[in-house]
Chain A
Amino acid sequence: MSRDAGRFLRMSYVVASVAGVAFFVMSVALLGIWPGHVLEDETRTMSPEHPLGLTVSEQRGRVIYGREGCAYCHTQQIRYLHADMARFGSPTLAWETRFDYPHLWGTRRIGPDLAREGSTHSEDWHFAHLYAPRTLMADSVMPAYPSLFDGSPDRPRQEARDLVAYLDSLGRARELAGPEGEAHARTACQCPDDEMAQMAFHATALNANPARPRRQGAAPKLAPAGNLGRGQQLYAHNCASCHGARGEADGPGAAALHPRPANLAGHEYTVDRLGYVLWNGVAGTAMQAWRDLPTQDLAALARAVGGFYVAQQQPTVPVDLLDLGARVYKANCAQCHGDAGAGDGSAVGELRITPADFRGARPSVAESLRALRNGVEGTQMAPWTGRLSEAELSAVAYYVRGFYQERP
């Protein structure tokens, strides 16, 4: 008996070996193949009928993204967690990754997740950022990729264009699916009781990347007296690289951006206007939105930014000059900037970037004259020196200041 038992024990390695192989096969089956089937099923049922894949350029960009190890600092995988959703938007659904050969999920975040990066930053921002990241964010540790350029961020090679095209495609398929797509996916999910799965759908407010600019949208009312110290710190960390340490649009990143960042020292802003821009960004420009910041931080920032404007002695402007300004404005400016200077003229729909809103931002005369004489590069604001006389330019520069409406 004991001899038999001993023999059996000595032979037990056979059983164990078979079990070992079986467990390995089981791991592949249970954690690879079976989830694969579930995910494939989910992809089939939840995906819109014709999800948009990547263009040839975007595919090339994807190869560059892989080659440079971007996925080792930037995940493309928003988890089903509120902290992730608040920063990056809706959790990643299976069907969104259906064209990813191989996946680029990543396991480390030194930089932010990029699953919903598309339309968050403008092309000029991406070029400047890839060429020299620290001009836009002084404390960034992102590698610079000058080899994708011919010596300046304004001269991207095809590789840089491809990479930026790819970055801009991230999250696009889900977005194009639209509310119908979300509703379809939600029905197909058949998971009304699955709290986690529902997170992917119910948080419509979180659907977009909170850094993504939008053309219109409500903004929270900011308290007029934010914490100045906190605001200055936030400004120094997040804004000064482009807008300059004193708000004079002369930060190291300013030169590569088209249009250049706003000259904060040359405008008097209402708190509402600052709140609106911080909350919504400026679509079409490098100014991102900051919806992930708490409103007291936004109020603090608004306070700090408001402090850059140095109130000047108001010269008494002769009435006939203002009359001239009004005529010039009506004839040449109102089409875009609107009759009341709200940036809502009849041509606005044609413009990539919304024109300046003079009600919320009162430019200094010098600032207006600069824009009138030189135009605003990267926008449809052209130089007016050929069309208007010096007197007319001055007149309109004074005139637009009158639109400003301090909050009651």
Chain B
Amino acid sequence: MSQNVSPAATPAVETRLVYAHGLAAIVTLLISVAFGILASIELLVPDLAGNPAWLSWGRLRYDHTQGIMLGWLGNAFFAFLYHAVPLLTGRPVTSARLGQWIFGLWNFAVVAPGWVLVLAGFSQPLEWAEFPMVVDVFVVIALALAIIQFLPPFFRRGLEDLYVSSWYVIGGLVFTLLAYPMGNFVPELVPGARGAAFSGLWIHDAVGLFVTPLALAIIYYVIPAATRRPIFSHFLSMLGFWLLFFLYPLNGTHHYIYSVIPMSAQIGAITASALLGVDVIIVVANLLLSLRGSGVFSRDVALRFAAMSTIFYLVVSIQGSVQAQMSVNQAVHFSDWVIGHSHLAMLGFATFAAAGGLAHVWQRIPWARYNARALDWSYWLLFAGVILMVTDLTVAGLVEARLWQSAAPWLDSVRAARPYWLIRTGSAIPIAAGFIALLLGLTTGPKGAGLQSVEQTIGLEPVREIAPRLAPAASEAS
């Protein structure tokens, strides 16, 4: 298949769109993190700034999660796709003009107005779907346009022997478009417990069909591109991919265990959750085996982010499989344990993948500034912050769970959580510093320094020639 992707024919990457989405990702990230930090401070100082309505905890919480998912991860994924899709397919994306539209819609019809509307009191009280429905319409439009933008190159190339990242891209975009309305529109039409069943599906699909596939697309791309070695096993890649897409959607109901939703549906979701853990072991084993020789703490910071993301993915998924089990769930559900879990997923796994993806594509924009030292700081600060925060919240969850099982008054559990919440807010210091360092890493430093750092860490080789090496199937199949 390698004749399909001759290095000479490697199409130009729309680097301006990569850059625009990358910067938008970091700007929205910093704003979303500010929402999160404010919300965490309000748990310690509830009467912050005289309690103006727009600064109230609930609204900050809505903007925090929606900003992280759509603003930060959405933009980071788009930035990566503009770089990776042409290199994976040997064909340009559909249209640079369309790209400007998607960029505008995503940031100025979805993220920015979504934030403002939530602060102004227009929102939707559904998890991972808090932006009001008028914004959801633009999300669906933008996702449809993204499919038009990114998928035709794959079809023009032909779907045989696609590298696994391509599959994750295709699957992620298509299934997100399918799943999004389910969490954002259906519960408005179907009441109560019935609506909750659909909500549960979306809560998991938002992570499983949007965040996870695109984050894995990045990891699967960055590891071979940075190590210059094919992935360990294309077979395991594909097995992991398809199992993921079979199992992820079936997990949703595990958010409502011991509820009135039929027990057989709960048991089904719990079983799927356990099986998903098995699948993640396959995926992660394949990725870690591909890292042989480079180690988890590579000198290339992009690769290091991707490698640590892989580890976080393993831990968070095994944790997810365990906490979906009834005996564990009945205790830790509703507690800070789950908040720790979701931060391990979004801040550990997904954010590290996205940061690695951004650093990787930045290295390959010849005119972009690149500050390797700042990125190095970013990595270690975020690493420390995530570990501190997740450990802290996990312990907090266990403390709360224990008090809830006892006869202690409810407020005792709030009182007991306070020191942990203080540490959690403290963990915002390394995390916020890490994100500022990420911003500096991609906006300061000499132009073209990214490429130099690639040469220093993994040897000189024209970056354009990496593309065909990404498809190990080409050699396996022949």
Contacting residues of chain B (246-290) with chain A, CB-CB under 8 angstroms: 246-247, 249-250, 252-253, 255-263, 265, 268-269
Whether A237 pairs with B265 at a CB distance below 8 angstroms is: no
B226 smallest CB distance to A (angstroms): 26
A11 to B477, CA, bound (A): 12
Q: A36-B194, A147-B51 are in contact. Are A69 and B242 (CB under 8 A)?
A: no
Give 1 or 0 for each of B346-388: 1 = CB within 8 Å of chain A CB.
0000000000000000000000000000000000000000000
Partner of A68, one of B56, B193, B200, B335: B56
B232 touches A (CB below 8 Å): no
B18 touches A (CB below 8 Å): no
Whether B123 pairs with A66 at a CB distance below 8 angstroms is: yes
- B297: chain A residues within 8 A (beta carbon): none
Give 1 or 0 for each of A16-59: 1 = CB within 8 Å of chain B CB.
10011001101110111011101110110000000000000000
B459 touches A (CB below 8 Å): no
- A75: chain B residues within 8 A (beta carbon): 334
Whether B198 pairs with A39 at a CB distance below 8 angstroms is: no
Identify 10 residue pairs between A and B in the complex whose beta-carbon atoms are under 8 Å apart, listed by A's number: A13-B162, A32-B252, A69-B62, A97-B191, A101-B187, A108-B334, A139-B414, A141-B43, A146-B51, A237-B411
Additional 15 contacts, C-beta under 8 A, given A97-B192, A97-B193, A144-B51: A27-B201, A30-B265, A39-B260, A43-B193, A80-B259, A94-B194, A96-B192, A100-B192, A103-B191, A103-B192, A103-B195, A105-B259, A107-B338, A112-B410, A141-B44
Stretch of A85-93, A218-226, A312-320 that contacts chain B: A85-93
Whether B261 pairs with A35 at a CB distance below 8 angstroms is: yes
A399 smallest CB distance to B (angstroms): 39
A14 to B122, CA, bound (A): 43
Whether A293 pairs with B407 at a CB distance below 8 angstroms is: yes
Whether B56 pairs with A99 at a CB distance below 8 angstroms is: no
- A36: chain B residues within 8 A (beta carbon): 190, 194, 197-198
Residues of chain A touching chain B, judged by Cβ–Cβ distance below 8 Å, are 6, 9-11, 13-14, 16, 19-20, 23-24, 26-28, 30-32, 34-36, 38-40, 42-43, 65-73, 75, 77, 79-81, 83-84, 86-87, 91-94, 96-105, 107-112, 133-134, 137, 139-147, 196, 234, 237-238, 290, 292-294, 297
B1 smallest CB distance to A (angstroms): 9
B336 smallest CB distance to A (angstroms): 8
B159 touches A (CB below 8 Å): yes
Q: How many residues of B contact A (CB 8 A)?
A: 89
- A68: chain B residues within 8 A (beta carbon): 56, 58-59
Q: A35-B262, A83-B405 are in contact. Are A69 and B330 (CB under 8 A)?
A: no
Tell me what chain B mostly uses at the interface: helix, strand, loop, or mixed: helix
Q: A10-B160, A237-B415 are in contact. Are A24 and B249 (CB under 8 A)?
A: yes
- B407: chain A residues within 8 A (beta carbon): 86, 292-294, 297
**Which residue of A has the minimal Cβ distance to B409?**
A238
- B405: chain A residues within 8 A (beta carbon): 83
- B46: chain A residues within 8 A (beta carbon): 133-134, 140-144
**Which residue of B has the minimal Cβ distance to A296?**
B407
- A87: chain B residues within 8 A (beta carbon): 404, 410
A317 to B123, CA, bound (A): 67
Whether B61 pairs with A69 at a CB distance below 8 angstroms is: yes
Contacting residues of chain B (400-414) with chain A, CB-CB under 8 angstroms: 404-405, 407, 409-412, 414
**Which residue of B has the minimal Cβ distance to A105?**
B196
**Which residue of A has the minimal Cβ distance to B175?**
A24
Whether B477 pairs with A10 at a CB distance below 8 angstroms is: yes
Q: A23-B250, A141-B46, A238-B411 are in contact. Are A94 and B198 (CB under 8 A)?
A: no
- A297: chain B residues within 8 A (beta carbon): 407
B446 touches A (CB below 8 Å): no
A100 to B56, CA, bound (A): 24
B42 touches A (CB below 8 Å): yes
- A292: chain B residues within 8 A (beta carbon): 407, 409
- B47: chain A residues within 8 A (beta carbon): 134, 144
Whether B57 pairs with A35 at a CB distance below 8 angstroms is: no
B399 touches A (CB below 8 Å): no
Q: A35-B262, A143-B51, A147-B52 are in contact. Are A110 and B414 (CB under 8 A)?
A: yes
Stretch of B82-90, B124-132, B142-150, B432-440 that contacts chain A: B124-132
- B197: chain A residues within 8 A (beta carbon): 31-32, 35-36, 39
